[in-house]
Each structure stands twice: as structure tokens, then as C-alpha cells.
A = this chain, B = another copy of it.
């Protein structure tokens, strides 16, 4: 089947993005690849591939903020400057799979441009719900592709092939360009016994390798792990073991909301142990419903029920499959842990099966939740230790196999932190590539191949844009620095009315937040007021009447010194001086 890429672009460039740096255009008759997100860091995958006047975007992911360094930030999206600048060339947006770090920034990009979006049925099903939420669905041009499909985008031809990952319907890309074939692995592992029987297409990859591959871009996440990634099927005995141990209690299982094959296996094991299963959490319920609709789930008879139906069953007959694996505070799972869930009470004998990995940064929160389950008398069966979780990203063995099949001329590690990319480079070199054929790239670096040789040439605007509420990119380092200061030391406000001559006629009033508990420190606030009064009185001399800036500085100084001496703390001080 062939699909031809459509015309384009119903919308004007939005003004809300950061302005792009002027940059030299790519050289003519050459292929360029630019990572715009996702290199050097997990998440936010987004890159552009261009040959002359034809460009495609691959993935459009989101990254989640670091609560300590980026407090209050909701999401981090890529800087779209270069994509917007190149919008005349961008003729397609291709999604490898439906995880947030590959599709999450779409709504923000689609506010400005509207290229046809290609992805598998399951991926686009997830995209559809996301765009609906952002009221962008009606104008989006979504085009379903299947493994084996080919699309033409000007001079570029894209072939799709199936890859196994922790979400159904993952795609890898073979992009034929006038100067050679680019292979993008997507996020993948080889899995010789996948739950749906649908293996990563090694035969196709071997044929690609025989035809000749110019450059491989592949997923580095798990390259520090030796051996092969365990098959998703290997979770099955772990689940059976847990089900056989939990005789009387309810089983609560948590996993990532798109891990359909995990859910399939839980359904099968539940059926075997005569329990029924319901989902909990909007995304879990939506995602599994979609998977079922698309035929990605084969539910055993009489097993998958609604939450309402499950509530009526005794604990030993029920399995709840929930979101909330990262300890998200308002998730059903967190509420169960803290005893605040309105429908589910965790009791001694219940079990939590934690079928997920802890995303770095969430360890403390998840730990607390797990401890709370123990505290309520539940048993917790977790991750690798009880063999109820395996990764969806290829280990070193999978990566080695991919390189042996494809034997690419060049290699670019993608989608992983620097440490993973370095491991991946070492693997490529063990597989026979010389160091000058492996390119370690930063976001914005342009990789160029002119038909003869590859090099890095120039850099385009790229980076992170923070989203807070409706604001996109309006929060920068100054605001974050202030937030951090406020969070660590709080603030003290001093309000003061002065005559032009510098006599105090109102205040000083002191108001603080996040500093000390005011009710228990009235003497401190009184002394602070005295210090302000003294500092104002001390500043006047017969031949000098200070200006307002000077007054504010003197007040700040007096309070800063007092709080340092009294508490060894440095609150943010805001003097407000009014002329009365």
C-alpha cells in the first residue's frame, strides 16, 4: 500500500515559541538529521530529517520536570523554532509509538503547524484522545500506517516495520533517501516470545542490511545492561507465583497505562486463578479499551469486568489494575496507600503487584507508597525481584544483534542519557565501526551526509521550553531561581510609609510566608520592625536625604542582617516603601 503525503498547513506560525537563531541552510543534495530533543536525556524525543526541500519530523515527545530544579512546571516540550522555520519543507510527522515521551508535545506543535501525522492504529488512537482534550482533533490529519506500508514524502520514501516494545504497535522506520537508507529503531527490543506473537521483524532488518544501511539511529536506554532483554512472556510465571501466594486478599496491580501486554497476561492469570479484573484510572481504562477495540487484547471469557461490578465481589475474587505506579499523589493507588480511597480499603492479606520500574526522581515517593501498603498489612511484589516486570528497551545483546543485522555505515545513539550513549558507542565499536563513524550528538547538532562522507555541521536552535499552566516558554531561569529561593527560605515583606523628608508615618508592617510560624514568633517580628525603624532613623544626616532606592536597600540590609544573626536564614526580602 502506498500513501502520498498531502499538501499542507492550515495554520500560521504561533508567536508563543522562542525565537529561532538564524542558521545556515543545509547544503544542497545532502541529507541532514538533527536531534531536537531526546539526545543526552531520556524523554522528549523529537528530530528532523531533511533532504533538500523535503523534511520529516520523527516523534514529538514530552519530558517531565524535576520537582526540585523546576518547581511548579507541568511539562517540558522541545523548542520548536527550527521546525517552524522549516515549515515549508516539513511534509510529514511520523510517530514510532504512543508513549508520552514520543507523542506528548504534539498538541503544542499542532497549534502552529498541521502536517499529516503518520503512526500505527494504536499510536494514533492515543493521539486522538490527547488532541481531543486540547480541542485540536477536528483539524488534525491523522493517517494510520501498518508494518510493511510505504509512504512517499517528496524525495523521501519511508518504510515501516514492526518492533516489540512495552506498548503495542511499535514501529521502526527505514527511510530511503537519494543518498542512502536511514534506519530509526524506535524504542524496541527483540522478543522471541512476544505476548501477541508479533516479533521485531529481524528478517526485514537482515534484508535492509543486505541492501545497505547508511546510518542507524537506535535506542540507547538499556545499553548498560548486558545480555538480552527478557521477553514480556517471562513475566507470566512471576505473576502466577504471586497469584498462588495470595490466597484470600485482593490483588492490586499497577503498571504503566499503555502496557497492554502486561494487562493481557494479568487477564490470563486472573482467569486461571478464577479472579475477575477491572481497570482503575482514566488513562488505564481508556488505553485498555482502545487496545481491545483494535484487537490488541484477547480477553479470556468472563474475566474483564467494570469497576462497579468488581466492587461487588469478595477480595479473593478480584484484581484491580491501576495507574499511579510513580506515586502520583492524586492517583487511586496513592489514595489506597494512605487509606483515603473512597471505594477500596487495603486490608491485611491484600497484595500489591508493582509491574513497573521507578522512574528516576520518583524513588522516595514510590517508596513511601510501598511502605504504606506494608503498613496496612498488604504484601508487595515488585519489579525484577519477583519477576513481575521486564523492560521494553533492548539490552546490549539486542543492540548488538540489531547492528549485526543492519551493518550500518554510520551510527548515532539516541534516546538515552549520555552514559547510555557512551555504552552504545562502545557496543558499535565492538561490532566493528570505527570511532569516526559513531556520532555523539547534542540537541541542535546537524549531521550531514553529502553522498560521500558524514560530518557534524552547524547547530540550530534547540532546547527545552517549560510549560506552566497555559504559559508556554514564559518561565525562565530568573523565575525558577526565585521559586527555589522562596521554597528554601520563604519571604518577608516590609511595608512602610514615609514622608518626603524620611519620617515614618505608616508601618513598618512585616508580613512573612514560608519563613517562621508568625503566631509563635511575634517577638521576632516586633524586633524586626524595630530594626527597620532604627535603620531609617540612622540614615538621615543634615546634608543627605536618601532616595527611595536607597531606603529600600537600607531596609533590606537591616532585615537581612537580623534574620541571619537570629536564625541563620536568608528569606527573600521585599521592602515596599510608599511616599505619603
Contact surface of A with B, Cβ cutoff 8 Å = 40, 66-68, 71-72, 224, 360-361, 363-364, 367, 370-372, 374-375, 379-380, 385, 417-419, 421-422, 468-471, 474-476, 478-480, 482-491, 493, 495, 497, 506-507, 509, 511, 513-517, 520-521, 566-569, 572, 574, 576, 578, 580
Contacts and interface: CB of A to CB of B under 8 A. Distances in A.
A322 to B, nearest CB: 19
Copies in the complex: 2
B363 A516 contact: no
**Most B C-beta atoms less than 10 A away, residue of A360, A419, A493, A511:** A419
B490 A487 contact: no
Contacts of A385: 224
Contacts of A72: 487-490, 514, 569
A360 B366 CA distance: 10
A385 B419 CA distance: 14
A379 B569 CA distance: 40
B474 A417 contact: no
Nearest to A468: B569
Contacts of A509: 576
Contact of A469 (B419, B483, B569): B569
B361 A364 contact: yes
A516 B479 contact: yes
B371 A360 contact: no
Given A361-B363, A374-B422, A419-B380, A482 B490 contact: yes
Given A72-B488, A470-B568, A474-B520, 9 more contacts: A72-B487, A72-B489, A375-B418, A479-B515, A483-B486, A486-B486, A495-B576, A506-B580, A507-B578
Contacts of A513: 482, 486, 491, 572, 574
Given A72-B490, A491-B491, A567 B470 contact: yes
Contacts of A478: 517
A517 B580 contact: no
A210 to B, nearest CB: 34
Contact of A468 (B371, B375, B485, B567): B567
A511 B576 contact: yes
Contacts of A497: 578, 580
Contacts of A374: 418-419, 421-422
11 contacts: A72-B569, A361-B363, A374-B418, A379-B422, A468-B569, A471-B569, A475-B516, A479-B516, A479-B517, A483-B490, A483-B514
A436 to B, nearest CB: 15
A399 to B, nearest CB: 17
Q: Which 9 A-B pairs have the closest CB atoms?
A: A487-B487, A469-B568, A72-B488, A486-B486, A483-B514, A482-B514, A71-B487, A371-B418, A469-B569
A469 to B, nearest CB: 3
A476 B516 CA distance: 8
Contact of A488 (B71, B476, B489): B71
Given A374-B422, A520-B474, A569-B468, A479 B514 contact: yes
A474 B514 contact: no
Nearest to A495: B576
Contacts of A375: 418
A511 B513 CA distance: 15
Contacts of A468: 567, 569
A499 to B, nearest CB: 12
Contacts of A482: 490, 513-514
Contacts of A360: 363-364, 367
Nearest to A41: B371
Of the listed residues A72, A374, A471, A479, the one surrounded by the most CB atoms of chain B closer than 10 A to its CB is: A72
A371 B469 contact: no
Contacts of A511: 574, 576
Contacts of A380: 419
Nearest to A40: B371
Nearest to A509: B576
B479 A486 contact: no
A467 to B, nearest CB: 10
A516 B474 contact: yes
A517 B476 contact: yes
Residue of A66, A422, A521 most packed against chain B (CB within 10 A): A422
